[in-house]
Amino acid sequence: MKKLIIIALIGLLALSICAGAFYFYVGIGKDISPNGADWSDFGGFYGGVVGPILSFISIILLVYTINQQSEANEHTSDETTKLDMLRNMSGSEQEVESWLKTELASSQGNKEVQLGLIVWGVVKPSYVNQQELGACLERLLKLTCAYCSSIALYEANVDPYFIYRQHYSKATELIAFLKQHVSILSQMAGPSLATCEHLLNEANNA
């Protein structure tokens, strides 16, 4: 808006200068002429000088409008990308949460326990069937790796605070739990968890 005002003021200044110049060189010390021919000369001079100036100002306004529209499109594209990253991170979190609701058979009777209660330390891992626990943790490992990748991507391109911090804390807890039970996971569990930690630490220290 300020740029438009500046351009408008420049245009008015140019018009005023042209009118003043004509009066100074042609009409100074003279009364306003009632002769139509004099006014015709004035109109020809004014049109010849002001016309190109107004055309130039019109071109500037056109370029400015195109530039503003381009910036608006870039901003819209950036916002769309940020929303996509947020949806990706939230989707990864939902997959983890859904998997944490998996029921595991208790090793002490016919009871069942949700995986999340074990991960968050409410129930001891020894309370459930270890074979089932190992299979569930393999899946949790893959989901955690995807979750950490989405968190790092979000932090690097969108926002390193607020929403990111919440997800970062959750991911670090998942990694800590999985590291405690790496002995019942596959051989690639250790390197995968190390990669997850590296992604989170790199994003956190950026």
Per-residue pLDDT of the chain (206 residues; tens, 9 = 90+): 566 666 667 767 766 776 666 666 665 566 666 666 766 766 776 677 667 777 877 887 788 788 888 888 888 877 888 888 888 889 999 999 999 999 998 887 778 999 999 999 898 998 898 889 999 999 999 999 999 988 888 877 776 566 778 888 899 999 999 999 988 898 889 999 999 988 888 876 75
DSSP 189: H
Compute the distance between CA of residue 120 and CA of residue 169 in angstroms, rounded to an integer. Answer: 13
In the chain, where the domains are located: 72-204
What are the residues whose beta carbons fall under 8 Å from the beta carbon of 120, sequence distance 6 or more? Answer: 173
Q: Which position has the token pair 């939230």?
A: 90
Compute the distance between CA of residue 32 and CA of residue 35 in angstroms, rounded to an integer. Answer: 9
Task: With H, G, I as helix, E, B as strand and everything else as coil, classify residue 137.
Answer: helix
pTM of the complete model beyond 0.85: no
